[in-house]
Structure 1
């Protein structure tokens, strides 16, 4: 096995104390009460999450993070995103790629969505096998998905999956009872990383494969997010089993959910890589697919493995 070197962009979350953010000498400067200033190179930041009402910024923070390709998430009182800021320019050939995205044929779009749904249901099956000892028929369901998922097997799988993973009384709803709040937070972290990857690949995040709500500026990000959701579900199920998170999302819950970006997962076509890089490979593979109609869509193909088992970048 050859040495595999990868660079993971950092996810920084500000939530515990009043904080002032500024920039000095290409460093993000984090100043907190009663603590010495901390610094992080701007180029190392992938996602900045601000979840405290008394954080202040200089203009340079937002502009320099945008130039470096970072995503900034501003949360409301429920720890949900009130604003997600993504870079405007992400790729040297973005006009060419966006034109291909806009004019993609319907059969190719449906095949791409089929691959996303198959990957998602297979990941759900693996999570159930790990947690319950059975996939409850989800592997067979994944094998039945047709282009465009015309039978809506994605929704059927969710109806079978969530009650068995999180209890028979659980109902997945953004405004629902806990642990929905934990799921919301974990999905938010992933969504930001996927949106950043989509823009970096030169694609329009508002034009999706399946998601198409006119008020959603991140339709494509929500499409590519789907197979990664079970990685969050798995962590939330572990927290719920321990009784954590019942009184809100604390620092430990946030730490665990943020760590999903560092989980190393196998990919379709071979290889293993951290989620933060896997989403970038997936977006780039979709851009190539839009361009020439060839190749595999790179998606997660297994539960996280130990970092020592990471293979070469495919």
Structure 2
């Protein structure tokens, strides 16, 4: 997979998007100035579209054809709905999906155990990188995860993790909170990660609604929500290093969060989207019985290319 993953952000853009068939490029035309900018879609992963953008259905068709995920955002710049390509990138998609549906409970629980362990270990590495306390406690908890995580070690680890991640700040993780602080920053970053994960699941020829742990009746991408878990600390680190007054309304803050999902994940140098794609492909082989064990990578911020400092500069 290519590592040239790009994200186009039009959440604050006022104007029109067009697709020029002759050049096979996306054009953005600013309403105020008439300025035209062209964008190649060949290395684009996700496009964010805001409420001040106009476009024709043909733009959506060409984005889908080129395997680009489009997220439509509200006035805050937070995604509200999406377009995902219906592609069959895997030659044995029917056989793979039948195998996925027939995955035994023991193998399903074992896969979830490995995901939770990798997530908690990634959280451990994040705390160590930021010189926060309780890293050893999280590492110990990771060793206690059993098949299916029956004692909910993931939740126990989360309580410890969130209590120290942002230093002395009194923080409570509340997904979907209406505040514009840390929770909104996390939600925004996780949405970008989810876009990468959805794309990876679809490209692997898997059924996205058939999850391991996430099984909500209305969740069309439960498997993507399972596979995203070990990657969440990537966003957590970026949010932790932003100032306490950082807000998702800031264009620079959003740029930082976008960039955080494109860094190297571990010492092999592969970026987050590439590692997600490889993980989804490996899960496909796991459900088909081609591999015995589902090996989940562990986030190591030392190789992310971030500066070793507690906070970003002024944003």
Q: Structure 1 residue 218: deviation in Å?
A: 1.2
**Equivalent of 2:222, from 197, 219, 223?**
219
Q: Is the 8 A contact 1:141 1:153 kept in 2?
A: yes
- Cα separation, 1, equivalents of 2:70 and 2:302: 26
Q: Per-residue CA shift, 1:113-141, capped at 9, x if unaligned?
A: 11110010001111111223430500010
- Cα separation, 1, equivalents of 2:61 and 2:302: 34
- Cα separation, 2, equivalents of 1:227 and 1:240: 24
- Cα separation, 1, equivalents of 2:304 and 2:37: 30
User: 3-state SS of the aligned residue for 1:31?
Assistant: strand
- Cα separation, 1, equivalents of 2:225 and 2:302: 21
1:1-314 superposed matches below 5 A: 6-24=2-20, 25-33=23-31, 34=33, 36-50=35-49, 52-91=50-89, 92-134=91-133, 135-166=135-166, 167=168, 169-176=170-177, 177=179, 178-241=181-244, 243-245=245-247, 248-266=248-266, 271-292=268-289, 293-305=291-303
| Structure 2: gaps (5+ residues) | 306-315
Considering only aligned residues, what root-mean-square deviation do their CA atoms show, in Å?
1.8
Decide which structure has greater helix share: 1
Q: Is the 8 A contact 1:264 1:274 kept in 2?
A: yes
User: 3-state SS of the aligned residue for 1:73?
Assistant: strand
Q: How many residues align?
A: 296
Q: Per-residue CA shift, 1:272-300, capped at 9, x if unaligned?
A: 30111111011001001111142443423
- Cα separation, 1, equivalents of 2:2 and 2:287: 26
Q: Is the 8 A contact 1:8 1:276 kept in 2?
A: no
- Cα separation, 1, equivalents of 2:130 and 2:155: 20
